Structure 1
Amino acid sequence: MAQSNDFTQSELMSTESGEPSFSVAKVDSPILRISPADLDTLVGTLEVRHVILEECTLKGDRRFEPGNDGMTRLYYGMWGTGSLTTSNGLSIAISQHTLVVVPPISSEHSQFRMVRENRAMLAGSARVLCGHFHAAFGDVVDMFGGLSTPIVERFSDGDELPAKLSHALVELQGKQPGSVAMTSLLMKQTLVLLLRRSLTSPHPWVERFAILRDHRISKAFAEMTAKPGARHTVDSLARTACLSRSTFMARFFELVGRAPMSVLRDLRMRQAAQQLRVTGVSIGQIGQAAGYANNSGFIRAFRKAYGMDPREYRCQALLRSGIAPYPAFQTEDPSESRTC
């Protein structure tokens, strides 16, 4: 069976044996996932356009990717090992059969000042299939537009997805009549295979598709996931959904199975844990970005979610990662050094 890996887990923090560094807290699991029937409906409306693919060969060097142009970017490891550092500082390990899908990153997803130019960077010794495309449901709702972080999944030789991508690359390179249409169809098939993963993947990206079946709740949920640290209330979220407070609460609970503020707490902790793993931002800043006015409240909430203090969590991540991610953000508080 194909392995599934997310950049928030073993792709960033694996030991030499390949085992995950530490168990994932319940808060990191998907809050909801799509049903097979709803997935069928979504697939029927999916349109894929503007597909560009090429082979990128790295020989111990670096390659800077184009800046954000509103397109979804795709990377698939064909052989070797390398890494992708996204424009907002996340470091993702890419090995053979690793698929990385980077959504268009809007400025509102950047919560800290960037210290590097707004471009992604590939590095390592590997051959990676690189490309971009636009995918939308009903040609209106961007398939990946509601995501603030990349999708990372691991496939294997026996999976269909590698063959679909290779066929799409051959079509583009051959420039035969109908190659644009054929490439779009092959990329759609690739994305359908990824959508099928959302039925079983343990990673939070699957929520994007589950929430689409109620567009009003989707708007509120998207606001929560994009800006978990904002001053959300039930009333403000109900206004975002254009619903009364009671109707919003009822529909949210029916869809998600939990109250909005309970979900929001998990989203805030998930964001904080991710930033502790892959950035050098101070714990105080991370707590503020998660909506906490003081460190003590943030530390209590984080300890309840993960069973340890933020500093201990960061140290475990760094000590067990083997290679620490690139510190895209600088720590301002010397007492919160990345050195454990």
Structure 2
Amino acid sequence: MTIDRILEAIEVDLQPFAFCEIKGASTTLALPGQTQAILHYVTGGRGDIIIGKHSPQKISRGTIILLPAFQHHQLISATETTDPLPQCRPIDTALKHILAGHGPQTLGAVCGLVDISYQGITGILNLIQEPLIEHLEPGDRIRNAMDELVLELTNPTIGTRALARSLLEQCIIMLLRRHHNKGHKSINWLNGVADQQMWTILQHILDTSKEAHTVESLADKAGMSRAHFAKRFKEIYGTGPIDLLRSIRMRRAAELLSGSDLPIKTIASKIGYKSRSYFTRTFEIEFGKTPDKYRKSMNSTT
């Protein structure tokens, strides 16, 4: 199975979009981590993006950012822009207008949640561990498609939702292909998709993450020795199978913490942990907060 066939088969889900307008130099718009990947496309102005505790990165008109799930980040405006920012006209209730600061326009971006499914499996973008950030020059094919997407979202008419979904799919496929060709480590999972044996194991982990998998049990399912399986898995996906399983479980727990009022013990059980205390320690290592504090922080941003 080739990567080309994988890109043909993926489906992109169009989630709610927002037009973010940040006014005034050095105004900050803090955005909480989402349970899905988030896409930012800068439509005008310039500034910085700060992801977690990392150093600021410059952004300007034409910059596209694809962030993995659960990444807290900030958009910070710079100086006043002469670029015209698009006027927000909602497509149904999907396109919201988020305004931060006062004064002259300095930074504008179209932002939205993105999900990709492949062969019935959703949340594929959750396998991306590092942000994809690229500045697109005028005439770039991805930039052209994103500009068309912005035009559709800000001037909705008959067929806008279908066309917007198609344009977004084009952008995501081109972005994934470009970073794969560059050897970006966050796209390593595409190599796994091209290896049917290892892709079957990844599907199994995603589908049955609650089960008590071990390296030995997964190697047996793959029909490989433990050592060969562990080495091959890490070569393809950039992490060990149990590390990936733990990450998938923790992201599922984060979704339940932010989207339900289930007790912590129940959530631990749902994702495969019998001990609440062990689950709490593991969750804190993954997200830097206990489940209780994480839930409170997510509730405070909604």
Same fold at TM > 0.5: yes
Alignment partner, residue 58 of structure 2 = 94
Aligned with residue 111 of structure 2, among 127, 131, 143:
131
Q: Classify 1:237/1:90 alpha carbon distance in 2 versus 1 (closer, same or farther; 3 Å).
A: farther
**Is the contact made by 1:63 and 1:123 (CA closer than 8 Å) also made in structure 2?**
yes
**Is the contact made by 1:216 and 1:242 (CA closer than 8 Å) also made in structure 2?**
no
Rounded to whole Å, the distance in 1 between the matches of 2:49 and 2:204 is: 31
What amino acid sits opposite 1:98 in the alignment? Answer: T
> What is the CA-CA distance between 1:141 and the residue it aligns to?
2.9
Rounded to whole Å, the distance in 2 between the matches of 1:185 and 1:40 is: 18
1:218 and 2:183 correspond: no
Gaps of 5+ in 1: 1-34, 107-118, 223-234, 268-288, 290-340
Alignment partner, residue 276 of structure 1 = none
**Is the contact made by 1:84 and 1:122 (CA closer than 8 Å) also made in structure 2?**
yes
**Is the contact made by 1:75 and 1:101 (CA closer than 8 Å) also made in structure 2?**
yes
Q: Find the residue that maps to 2:26 and give its secondary structure.
A: strand
> What is the CA-CA distance between 1:252 and the residue it aligns to?
5.8
Rounded to whole Å, the distance in 1 between the matches of 2:239 and 2:35 is: 29
> What is the CA-CA distance between 1:122 and the residue it aligns to?
1.1
For each residue in 1:17-75, what CA deviation from the matched residue of structure 2 results, as whole angstroms up to 9, or x when unmatched? xxxxxxxxxxxxxxxxxx9x323323323232214142534431334344334232122
Rounded to whole Å, the distance in 1 between the matches of 2:68 and 2:116 is: 12
Alignment partner, residue 147 of structure 2 = 166
Alignment partner, residue 149 of structure 1 = 130
What amino acid sits opposite 2:77 in the alignment? Answer: G
1:193 and 2:171 correspond: no
The structure 1 segments of at least 4 consecutive aligned residues displaced by more than 6 Å after TM superposition are: 219-222
For each residue in 1:106-163, what CA deviation from the matched residue of structure 2 results, as whole angstroms up to 9, or x when unmatched? 8xxxxxxxxxxxx532112253423113322235232311123322223221211112
Alignment partner, residue 52 of structure 1 = 17
Rounded to whole Å, the distance in 2 between the matches of 1:132 and 1:44 is: 22
Matches within 5 A, 1:1-340: 37-86=2-51, 88-96=52-60, 97-105=62-70, 119-125=72-78, 126-138=106-118, 139-213=120-194, 214-218=198-202, 236-239=214-217, 243=221, 246-247=224-225, 249-250=227-228
Using the TM superposition, name which of 212-221 and 155-164 deviates more: 212-221
Rounded to whole Å, the distance in 2 between the matches of 1:159 and 1:175 is: 24
What amino acid sits opposite 2:202 in the alignment? Answer: S
Rounded to whole Å, the distance in 1 between the matches of 2:42 and 2:193 is: 30
> What is the CA-CA distance between 1:185 and the residue it aligns to?
0.8
Q: TM-score, normalised by structure 2?
A: 0.55
Q: Classify 1:91/1:39 alpha carbon distance in 2 versus 1 (closer, same or farther; 3 Å).
A: farther
> What is the CA-CA distance between 1:186 and the residue it aligns to?
0.7
Give aligned-pair identity as a percent: 13
**Is the contact made by 1:81 and 1:93 (CA closer than 8 Å) also made in structure 2?**
no
Rounded to whole Å, the distance in 1 between the matches of 2:163 and 2:7 is: 21
What amino acid sits opposite 2:180 in the alignment? Answer: L
Q: Classify 1:236/1:178 alpha carbon distance in 2 versus 1 (closer, same or farther; 3 Å).
A: same
Rounded to whole Å, the distance in 1 between the matches of 2:124 and 2:23 is: 29
Rounded to whole Å, the distance in 2 between the matches of 1:241 and 1:141 is: 24
**Is the contact made by 2:28 and 2:76 (CA closer than 8 Å) also made in structure 1?**
yes
> What is the CA-CA distance between 1:236 and the residue it aligns to?
3.7
Q: TM-score, normalised by structure 1?
A: 0.50
**Is the contact made by 1:58 and 1:124 (CA closer than 8 Å) also made in structure 2?**
yes
**Is the contact made by 1:48 and 1:136 (CA closer than 8 Å) also made in structure 2?**
yes
Q: Find the residue that maps to 1:74 and give its secondary structure.
A: strand
Rounded to whole Å, the distance in 2 between the matches of 1:253 and 1:44 is: 28
What amino acid sits opposite 1:215 in the alignment? Answer: W
Q: Find the residue that maps to 1:198 and give its secondary structure.
A: helix
RMSD (Å) for aligned C-alpha atoms: 3.7
> What is the CA-CA distance between 1:191 and the residue it aligns to?
0.4
**Is the contact made by 2:36 and 2:123 (CA closer than 8 Å) also made in structure 1?**
no
